[in-house]
Amino acid sequence: MKTLPITDDTHVLVLTGAGVSAESGVPTFRDAGGLWEGHDVHEVASPDGFARDPLLVWRFYSQRRAGMEGITPNGGHHALVALERRLGDRFLLVTQNVDGLHRAAGSERLIELHGELMRSRCTVCDRPPFEDRQAYKPGVAPMCGRCKAAGKDALLRPHIVWFGEIIDRAYLARIERFVDTAGRRLVFLAVGTSGLVYPAAGLVDAARHAGGTSWLVNAEAPANVERFDHVVLGPSGTVLPGLLAN
Ligand code: OAD
């Protein structure tokens, strides 16, 4: 069985997508039966869609919150935690997932690039995003309690980066610094992602440009498979514990 080549100065940058949570029972986006099937992305995951129909958007995210009930991290999440404990600051995990499972498993050097399903924020005031596990009842538009106390009506929104929105610059800067510091010592590992959504899909190019090597673990070959040096096809929940066992 292949193992990731890790020496005393190897730096590992991991990018995960929906596939890493598939074996926990969280649906992916683009596979058959995935989240985008039956949904127009622009209706439920864009600022314009939210402006047009906030109730529809809240229904979609409330269903996703409810769907997380009883869901726990799998062997893939746990294997990444074990690797982080070995490497310390020579490890960084970037996830496109909003399900919070990496955090639940114990990952600490973690960037949740696309936001967090279990947090909300106000569309008007500057209160920081806050934990909000509620799956709102259909037809209920959640309002900001802080604005209400000040006599104003303001909608809450999920703390998710929607299509057409900008990813936090500080996150991208942290990833860039990690890649620059690592240089040729970098091992980039993408797991369970279709390689279609940028900037995440471009990380493999950044890693190669820095002189690092790139690995992919995915159930099937995704769009950008040719850009990886090593490809392991299979379910990440069982592949990762072996690949990272070294
Ligand atoms: P996708 O649903 O596009 O891709 C999931 C990938 O995981 C596919 O290539 C599957 O073959 C693979 N996969 C499925 N089960 C797997 C398993 N058990 N082990 C390994 N791989 C498996 O999900 P993402 O690439 O994460 O953005 O999607 C990227 C972004 O597009 C998401 O963050 C989301 C979406 O639109 C926003 O919502 C902003």
Domain annotation for the chain: domains and CATH numbers: 11-26+73-114+166-243 (3.40.50.1220), 27-67+117-160 (3.30.1600.10)
Catalytic residues, by residue number, are 114
- Helical H runs in 135-192? 145-149, 169-182
Q: Give kind and range of the element (H or E) at residue 11.
A: strand 11-16
What is the end-to-end Cα distance of the chain in Å, rounded? Answer: 11
223 Cα–ligand 1 center, Å = 12
Global confidence as pTM: 0.95
pLDDT in tens, 179-233: 999 999 999 999 999 999 899 999 999 999 999 999 999 999 998 999 999 999 9
Q: How confident is the model at residue 24 (pLDDT cuts 50, 70, 90)?
A: very high
More confidently predicted of 209 and 41? 209
Distance (angstroms) between ligand 1 centre and the Cα of 43 equals 19
Q: What percent of the chain has pLDDT over 90?
A: 89
Q: What pLDDT shows up at residue 141?
A: 87
Measured CA to CA, the distance from residue 235 to residue 82 in angstroms comes to 18
CA distances to 15, 152, 209 from 188, in Å? 8, 47, 11
Cβ atoms of 144 and 156 within 8 Å: the answer is yes
pLDDT at 246 over 80: no
For residue 32, pLDDT over 90 is answered with: no
The closest-lying atom of ligand 1 relative to the alpha carbon of residue 236 is: 19
- State the average pLDDT over residues 76-93: 98
Of 20, 23, 29, the one to substitute when testing ligand 1's pocket (max ligand atoms within 8 A of C-beta) is: 29
